[in-house]
Structure 1
Amino acid sequence: MKQGIHPDYHKVVFQDSSTGYKFMSSSTKGSDETIEWEDGNTYPLIRVEISSDSHPFYTGKQKFTQADGAVDRFNKKYGLSNN
């Protein structure tokens, strides 16, 4: 790797704004806000609007559309039939 062209990665804490869930990861993003983590050290805090704790896909609250209904509506709209 070339020296001096890559961003500096450091540990930061991300907090889900809607649930309060916190997790630590590496990032190049910084923050003026800090938080004391479970290990007793202070890290930059980055607030996010959605995380795996609140995203419908991960929480199991995602709504699935029925593909067969969409196909039927398409066939009705364009006059296609299975005859």
Structure 2
Amino acid sequence: MRKNIHPNYRTVAFHDTQIDQYFFIGSTVGTQQTIVRDGTEYPYMAIDVSSSSHPFYTGEQRSHGNEGRIAQFKRRYRKSK
């Protein structure tokens, strides 16, 4: 293999800030931040959502409380008849 062309593959600490959970996964992501966990220093990457917090994977559906356009139309014009 050619030298100095491959990215640095190492274990990275991904922090899901939404649920405050850490994942230690092998990655080539570049980051300047580090974190010490269990006496070992890892590169640190904060993420907003992961499979542990995403509504599709957790089964939680978020409703916005807005009714659809057809329901609004029926509600509005039901009174006029």
Measured against the shorter chain, the TM-score band is 0.5 to 0.7
Structure 1 CA distance, aligned partners of 2:3 and 2:34? 29
| Structure 2 equivalent of residue 79 of structure 1 | none
SS at match of 1:61: coil
Offset at residue 28 of structure 1 (A): 1.1
Q: Distance in 1 between matches of 2:30 and 2:20?
A: 19
**Which residue identity is paired with 2:21?**
Y
**Separation in 1 of the partners of 2:23 and 2:32?**
18
Identity %: 44
RMSD: 1.8
Per the normalisation by structure 2, the TM-score is 0.64
- Structure 1 runs of 4+ off > 4 angstroms? none
Where structure 2 has 5 or more consecutive residues not aligned to the other structure, the ranges are: 63-81
User: Hey, what's the Cα distance between the residues in 1 that align with 2:51 and 2:18?
Assistant: 11
Instruction: Give the Cα separation in 1 of the matches to 2:4 and 2:44.
Output: 26
Equivalent residue, structure 2, for 1:16: 16
Report the TM-score when normalising by structure 1. Answer: 0.62
> How far off its partner does 1:7 sit?
1.2
- TM-aligned CA deviation for residue 35 of structure 1: 1.2
Secondary structure of the 2:18 match is coil
Q: Residue type of the partner of 2:25? A: S
Which residue matches 1:74? none
Please identify which structure carries the higher strand content.
2
Distance 1:31 1:2 in 2: 24
